[in-house]
Amino acid sequence: MAKTYVGSRLRQLRRERDLSQASLAATLGLSASYVNQIEHDVRPLTVPVLLRITEAFGVDATFFSRDDDSRLLAEIQDVITDQEINQSPVELQELSELVYNHPVIARTLVDMHRRYSNVRDKLSIATDTRRSSDPSDGKLASQALSMPHEEVRDFFYARKNYLDELDLRAEDISRQLNVTLFDVRATEDALSRRLQVEHGVQVSTRTSNEGTLHRYDPATRELWLDSQLSPGQRAFRMAQELAYLECNPILESLVASGNFTSEASEQLALRGVASYFAAAVMLPYRTFHAEAEKSGYDVEFLCQMFGVGYETVASRLSTLQRPNLRGIPFTFVRVDRAGNMSKRQSATGLHFTSSGGTCPLWAIYETFSNPGSIVRQFAQMPDGRNYLWVARTVQHHQGRFGESGKLFSIGLGCEARHADRTVYARGFDLTDMSQATPIGAGCRVCSRKNCAQRAFPQVHEPVVIDAHSSTVAPY
């Protein structure tokens, strides 16, 4: 078995805990010289020492695995293959060493590139709007291109899509509310009583003709909910407002730690953490984790148990990363028919590029041909890593006849090594690679050759066109 050297990672862990080498050694029951040798890659990490570290600090063993860096590696590849800032190819091995040995530097480069891209786009729009007679056009365009959703996505990704303090507080409130399975109406009533008794908030329902699903007025302490919402949806929105009333210091602290660049990003992050709290109240961690494991992560069955929608359950499954009680590390995505990815949460290293669109061979797009039906896919990425994908459509706010609703596809993906813990692996031979569909992170960065579905050439390869021959692939 190959020796594992983890010096940079152990230093990172020690510095995050603000420990000296001597303190770390004492915690692990080792000598200071032994720890020093591990940190300088003189000694490899042994299994007994790894177990001591995971027990003492509550980190998963994958913290020391190169597999845990796959998304950051893919993001660095996006930076390096941007031809506007780099014309020289960089070997994948070099990038891998950078990510593993210097993850903070790698994340800083990714963040700098994202901000550079935003400024570049804003400058382009500002130049175009000089021709406009309306001076506000440039300001509006700049605001539109601030990309707050990307900042918020990165905020959750940096925390592995799990917010420990907020999750524990929500679980405590859930116990106080006595949230039970198969009785979401009781949860709705309990939340309504808590809002009224503890905070003087009057909850009512009404029919909205403007598309507003709920609104809270702090001045009058009135919260109204659209009468077309289901009991689970009403309870979720009450729990969301409860977050601001009972956990606002935690919410503000989390948002402050995100170092967001705009007020829009801060407000979106605030709503995001409040929604996280609401899901954690409705689907308390220990109960939900136990039922997920027992049911084989059957999303539709969990929807019936907890009385909430498919998207809420699928999203919550991607947050089960509490130390010492982890669920399957899922990637959660929401896309529309046009391929726009409006939500992307990940407890894994999976990365889809933001340039060139996502892969058309991805099973998540097949769901639009069979609305409401589960679609499964055994897929392989170009790096050889295998995934199980499960997808289904959901309908948002379909009101009266003639009103247009919103149709999305919800996807959940996990590495194939976790798939046997789910009901969705039944009937798949995950060892037979002939059943795996080859997909990629996006055409511009995908290294696959002769793909008939390729929409763009690879940015890191020269485009060679022979006018007198043709192939399956257009490039």
In this structure, the chain runs to a length of 475
Tell me the pLDDT tens digit for each residue of 49-96.
888 887 777 666 666 665 556 667 777 877 877 766 766 777 767 887
Average pLDDT over residues 391-403: 75
Tell me the pLDDT tens digit for each residue of 150-208.
889 888 888 889 999 999 999 999 999 998 888 999 999 999 999 999 999 999 998 87
Question: If you write DSSP's letter for every residue of 398-450 in order, what string do you get?
Answer: --STT---EEEEEEEEEEGGGGGGSGGGTT--TT-GGG-EE--S-TTT---SS
Q: Residue 80 carries which side chain, given as an amino acid letter?
A: I
Give the mean pLDDT of the chain: 83
Q: Where are the domains of the chain?
A: 7-64, 70-145, 146-319, 328-440
Q: What is the pLDDT of residue 131?
A: 43
Phi-psi region of 345 (alpha: psi -120 to 50; beta: other; left: phi over 0): beta
CATH class of 7-64: mainly alpha
How many CB atoms neighbour CB 79 within 10 A?
20
Tokens standing for residue 77: 């590849």
CA distance 237 to 242: 9
Tell me the pLDDT tens digit for each residue of 277-304.
999 999 999 999 999 999 999 999 999 9
Average pLDDT over residues 395-418: 80
3-state secondary structure of 33: helix
Question: What are the backbone angles phi and psi of residue 436, rounded to the nearest 5°?
Answer: -80, 130
CA 325 to chain centre: 19
Tell whether the model's pLDDT for residue 348 goes beyond 60: yes
Tell me the pLDDT tens digit for each residue of 96-134.
788 877 888 888 888 888 777 767 665 655 555 444 445
Tokens standing for residue 415: 């590495």
Long-range CB contact pairs, 407-410, < 8 A, 24+? 407/336, 407/337, 407/368, 407/371, 408/311, 408/334, 408/335, 408/336, 408/342, 409/334, 409/335, 409/336, 409/364, 409/365, 409/367, 409/368, 410/310, 410/311, 410/314, 410/332, 410/333, 410/334
CATH code for the part of the protein at 146-319:
1.10.10.2910
pTM of the model as a whole: 0.74
CA distance 367 to 412: 13
Q: Which of 25, 77, 81 is nearest to 53 (CA)?
A: 25
Q: Residue 245 in contact with residue 199, Cβ under 8 Å?
A: yes
Tokens standing for residue 51: 């177990």
CATH code for the part of the protein at 328-440:
3.30.450
**Bridge pairing between strands 406-415 and 386-396:** antiparallel
CA distance 77 to 379: 21
3-state secondary structure of 389: strand
* CA dihedral sign of residues 82, 85, 91, 95: negative
Tell whether the model's pLDDT for residue 404 goes beyond 70: no
- Name every residue whose Cβ is closer than 8 Å to that of residue 187 and which is 6 or more positions away in sequence: 177, 179, 180, 235, 282, 307
Q: What is the pLDDT of residue 100?
A: 75
Q: Residue 296 carries which side chain, given as an amino acid letter?
A: G
Q: How confident is the model at residue 1 (pLDDT cuts 50, 70, 90)?
A: very low
How many CB atoms neighbour CB 374 within 10 A?
16
Tell me the pLDDT tens digit for each residue of 255-275.
999 988 889 999 999 999 999
Q: Which of 252, 319, 256 is nearest to 283 (CA)?
A: 319
